[in-house]
Amino acid sequence: MMKLVSIDEGFSLLLGDKEIIRHTSEYPFLSLGHGDANVISSSGNFSVKENNVNMNPVKDVHVVESSSNHIVLALSEDNGKVIFTEKENQIALSFEIMDSSVNRLALSICADEEERIYGSGELFDRQNLRGLVRPLWISEPGVGRRKDLFTMLVASKTKHIPRWFHSNFAIPSWISSNGRYFFSDFTGYGVLDFTKKNYHRYYAWGIPKNIIIGTSPTMKDALTDLTTILGRQKKLPSWVYNGMILGIQGGKEVVEKKIERVVNTNMKVSGIWCQDWQGIRYTSFGKQLRWNWQYDEKLYPELPLFIKELKKKSLRYLGYANTFLTPGTPLYKEAEDKGYLITNKDHLPYPVYVPFDPGMLVDFTNPEARDWMKDVIKRNMIEVGLSGWMADFGEYIPADSMLHSGASPLIYHNSYPSDWAKINREAIDELGMEDEVFFFMRAGATSFHKDLSSFWTGDQLVDFSIQDGLPSAINASLVLGMSGVGYVHSDLGGYTTLLWKKRSSELLLRWAEYAAFTQTMRSHEGNRPQNNVHFDNDETIEGVSRMTRIFSALKPYHQFLSDEYQKSGIPPMRMMQLHYNQEIEDLEKWPYQYLYGEDLLVAPVIKKNRKTWKVYLPDDKWVHLWSKKKYTGRQVVTVKSPIGEIPVFYRENSKFKELFNTLS
């Protein structure tokens, strides 16, 4: 129940027994104002600043209406109203601002001094946001977020220095360790400020239609309530759990040879992912794709027939698509002729460099362009026989572009991935293929969850670095889970090979260990395949094969966790704090451990040349998966961790213990 309580020179708004908003004339809860945007973009990287900012705290506020579930506050100087509506332990805020020049809003929400804050999209090297300012603008996260020689060399080439908050997915939402949660439906630029002890601040470059603040008994309950608002992803097709999706490129003959090689090792394979199904081109960044969403008859002759042959072997065929078109291709010419491309201020197709060659973005604010793109996916992909694809990009809308709808690109920028997800979803559902076909994205936005199949963590370096390599994929997955994303995976082995960064056998095998305990196991050859070790090299093939068998054997557990996510919004791969919140201070020291469901504790080896690994076991009774040795919780243990035996423990009273015991 919502309650308004008078305090000295102001009021306090309570939801149950928790204070949500506190307002005094000295410390107003709301500020309104105006500012001018200064956004510069280059290859999906953005410099976001503002000029001429003038914010005015709203000091005079008086109550117009008040009841247990509806409160209306009038703002000073006839500037409008704030409306609070309570329902089921949630307060919805809406605004009626009379001054049309107002395009900035700042809102303060009460905080508990010791609470931790999680969520807000995707982050690569941190989980708790307390003490940080989190900008909300999707972009290329960049390669190199460290202060080292590699970062300096990359930055000098791209003229972009990545920061910790640069990510493919950023939304104005969070949950706290004490069960509080927050969501804003505003899609333009915003900032979440968690640097103050007594309040959290949300700053938006516009006026949200709705802001929701809620309280729940526990953090786990808060995540359930938040995902009810955000929506939950569609279930993955069951075939995904049959084995690994092998990333292979180079044409039909290469695919056939690699399939023959891995079958002899009893590798469990569910699909073949050929990102070059529509052709390739070479750029200074490496081996890149030809962005024309029709199969390449030279690389993959008679592709529909080849796909049918693969299905007879219980293998699915997957491809690739994105939001761009390569100039000079047939689909580009068709889109240009029909006016389906995003334009610059001269009303010409806007060339966007990715990273060094131009591509043209399809304008999803144009209903005809959306339908056209959806038809391309139906006709050229699903009806050809593809069972899935990477639906890449979504972060590149330039701030000075011209959109068909007339919408401001500053407001639409963070919405583009939602439209991209919806187009892919509708193409699948309208053909009745939702149980057979899925897609995976790396760009996220407000409200895209309900249309999304799977999310992958973007482009990691092929190394063990905390900010960019294997650990960053783990961290990103856990933060995504606290942001409502349940089906998440990474490029097994990483993606980005640059300079002296080349994928080693050890890295690939350690990544395979981790991937076996996620919802999807999928490899990638990387941007420079010739420099990388792959799943079918002599020194890796047996180890990768073993982990695919473990992944496949876990299918009943994978599906159980999927069903649990559908019902509760709790992700399969989850932070340990969701179940052991009373140990939160200890658990924060072990950020790269996670629970795969409630019953498996997974501690990936994220450093080179390790034969043993330390693991923190929370308060429970645990069994080491490989040795079957039993342990009690609330202690640090050291276990042997040779390659192929990732540190994993199961709860002694798990109903899946018989299944787990078959894995070793």
pLDDT of 271 above 60: yes
- pLDDT (0 to 100) of residue 263: 85
Confidence at 76, pLDDT banded by 50, 70, 90:
confident
Q: What angle do CA 512, 516, 517 make, to 5 degrees?
A: 130
Average pLDDT over residues 637-652: 98
- pLDDT (0 to 100) of residue 168: 96
The string of DSSP codes covering 146-208 is: SSSHHHHHHHHHHT----TT--SBB-SEEEETTSEEEEE---S-EEEE---SSEEEEEESS--
Confidence at 548, pLDDT banded by 50, 70, 90:
very high
Each residue of 87-126: pLDDT tens digit?
A: 989 999 999 999 999 999 999 999 999 999 999 999 999 9
- pLDDT (0 to 100) of residue 532: 94
Catalytic residue ranges: 392, 395, 459
Which stretch of DSSP H or E encloses residue 57?
Answer: strand 45-57
Distance between the two ends of the chain, CA-based, in angstroms? 52
Each residue of 185-201: pLDDT tens digit?
A: 999 999 999 999 999 99
pLDDT of 157 above 70: no
Each residue of 24-55: pLDDT tens digit?
A: 989 999 999 999 999 998 889 999 999 999 99
pLDDT of 440 above 90: yes
Strand order in the sheet with 621-624: 573-574, 594-596, 600-602, 648-651, 621-624, 630-632
Each residue of 498-538: pLDDT tens digit?
A: 888 899 999 999 999 999 999 999 999 998 899 999 999 99
Cα separation of 372 and 242, whole Å? Answer: 34
Q: Among 22-31, 349-358, 488-497, 650-659, whose mean pLDDT is lowest? A: 349-358
Contact 212, 88 (CB under 8 A): no
Query: Phi, psi (5° rounding) for residue 503?
Result: -70, 130
Query: Tokens 């690739």 map to which residue?
Result: 320
Each residue of 10-20: pLDDT tens digit?
A: 999 999 999 99
- pLDDT (0 to 100) of residue 375: 98
Give me the residues paired with residue 180 across strands: 215
DSSP state of 525: -
Please, which residues have CB within 8 angstroms of residue 51's CB and are 6 or more apart in sequence?
35, 36, 38
Count of CB atoms within 10 A of residue 500's CB? 10
Confidence at 655, pLDDT banded by 50, 70, 90:
very high
Count of CB atoms within 10 A of residue 284's CB? 9
Cα separation of 324 and 321, whole Å? Answer: 8
Tokens of 9: 């020179």
DSSP 3-state helix, strand, coil percentages of the chain (rounded to 5)? Answer: 25, 30, 45
- pLDDT (0 to 100) of residue 445: 92
Report which of 546, 526, 544 is spatially closest to residue 536, judged by C-alpha positions. 544
pLDDT of 158 above 80: no
Confidence at 367, pLDDT banded by 50, 70, 90:
very high
* Cis ω before 355 (30° cut-off from 0): yes
Please, which residues have CB within 8 angstroms of residue 4's CB and are 6 or more apart in sequence?
11, 12, 13, 14, 63, 66, 71
DSSP state of 564: H
pLDDT of 477 above 80: yes
- pLDDT (0 to 100) of residue 1: 86
Regarding predicted confidence, which is higher, 602 or 144? 602
Each residue of 202-259: pLDDT tens digit?
A: 999 999 999 999 999 999 999 999 999 999 999 999 999 999 999 999 999 999 999 9
Regarding predicted confidence, which is higher, 425 or 530? 425
Q: Among 70-84, 251-265, 290-304, 529-543, whose mean pLDDT is lowest? A: 70-84
Cα separation of 650 and 664, whole Å? Answer: 13
pLDDT of 472 above 90: yes
Pairing of strands 488-489, 454-456: parallel
Regarding predicted confidence, which is higher, 62 or 129? 129
Cα separation of 542 and 57, whole Å? Answer: 64
Contact 447, 230 (CB under 8 A): yes
pLDDT of 68 above 90: no
Tokens of 243: 């084995």
pLDDT of 284 above 80: no
- pLDDT (0 to 100) of residue 148: 67
Confidence at 636, pLDDT banded by 50, 70, 90:
very high
Torsion of CA 464, 498, 517, 485, to 10 degrees: 110
- pLDDT (0 to 100) of residue 503: 97
Confidence at 558, pLDDT banded by 50, 70, 90:
very high
Contact 526, 497 (CB under 8 A): yes
Average pLDDT over residues 252-279: 96
Per-residue burial over 78-105, b if 16 or more Cβ lie within 10 Å, else e, is: ebbbbbbbbeebbbebebebeeeebbbb
Query: Tokens 């939001």 map to which residue?
Result: 323
pLDDT of 152 above 70: no
Cα separation of 341 and 348, whole Å? Answer: 9
Count of CB atoms within 10 A of residue 397's CB? 27
Confidence at 599, pLDDT banded by 50, 70, 90:
very high
- pLDDT (0 to 100) of residue 156: 56
pLDDT of 330 above 70: yes
Contact 2, 83 (CB under 8 A): no
pLDDT of 356 above 90: no
Each residue of 123-145: pLDDT tens digit?
A: 999 999 999 999 999 999 977 66
